[in-house]
Amino acid sequence: MYLILQGSFENLQKVRKAGVKCPLLCKEFVVDKWQIYYARAMGADAVLLIAAVLTDLDIKYFLRICKELGLTALIEVHDEREMERVLAINGVQLIGINNRSLETFIVDTSNTKTLLEKHGDAIREKGILVVGESGLFNPDDVAYVQNAGVSAVLVGESLVKQADPGRAIAGLFGKELVH
Ligand SMILES: O=C(O)c1ccccc1NCC(=O)[C@H](O)[C@H](O)COP(=O)(O)O
């Protein structure tokens, strides 16, 4: 399980210094290569690359940097067009389907299902893992995106608003997760 750190590179370092051992995903709007080097220096294991704010050339270049640094790149898409762009890029291992529109902030989990119905075969052929992102609050939501074909989930609100992370995670999945 990755811990997702959002909003501040320095938080990555704080969390590492506090002794957190699990992998860390730097969830930022990465638009320049220095942010990837900085994320690595601060202790990240993975970075989010948002297709909506990057050109194809940027994504290819940033993927190369991630590979050199030993970082995993989670490439985030929101719609059909972004999915097609990302699937045409070699070396993508992890795609996140965000159910929240960056323009309207409206969340619709059927986005994951729609995109996987259309592109699931191509994704499987390439051996790409899919992460279902946003709007997941309970075991039914998780089951819905899992049945659509995702192998992992990216969750914010439903966990961070609860006092006990262990119980929050157990509540989200409907069972205790052993790690
Ligand atoms: O990431 C941002 O900076 C951001 C800016 C404006 C609106 C939303 C933004 N992020 C939302 C998140 O990162 C969510 O926490 C993440 O997508 C998970 O979704 P949820 O589980 O619904 O909180």
Give the tokens for residue 17: 């210094």
pLDDT lower than 50: segments of the chain: none
Query: Ligand 1 in contact with 6 (CB < 6 A)?
Result: yes
Indicate whether 67 and 86 sit together in one domain: no
Tell me which amino acid residue 99 is.
N
CATH number at residue 135: 3.20.20.70
Q: Which residues contact 50 (CB under 8 A, 6 or more apart)?
A: 29, 30, 76, 102
| Ligand 1 midpoint to CA 134 (Å) | 7
Indicate whether 52 and 117 sit together in one domain: no
ipTM above 0.95 for this complex: no
Indicate whether 148 and 179 sit together in one domain: yes
Give the tokens for residue 1: 């399980």
The pLDDT value recorded for residue 122 is 97
User: Mind listing the pLDDT tens digit for each residue in 108-137?
Assistant: 999 999 999 999 999 999 999 999 999 999
Query: With the C-alpha atoms ordered 74, 78, 83, 86, is the resulting torsion angle positive or negative?
Result: negative
Question: Domain range for residue 9?
Answer: 1-74
pTM of structure: 0.93
The pLDDT value recorded for residue 16 is 84
Domain end (from 51, 74, 97):
74
- Protein residue closest via CA to atom 5 of ligand 1: 102
The pLDDT value recorded for residue 20 is 84
State how many domains the chain has. Answer: 2
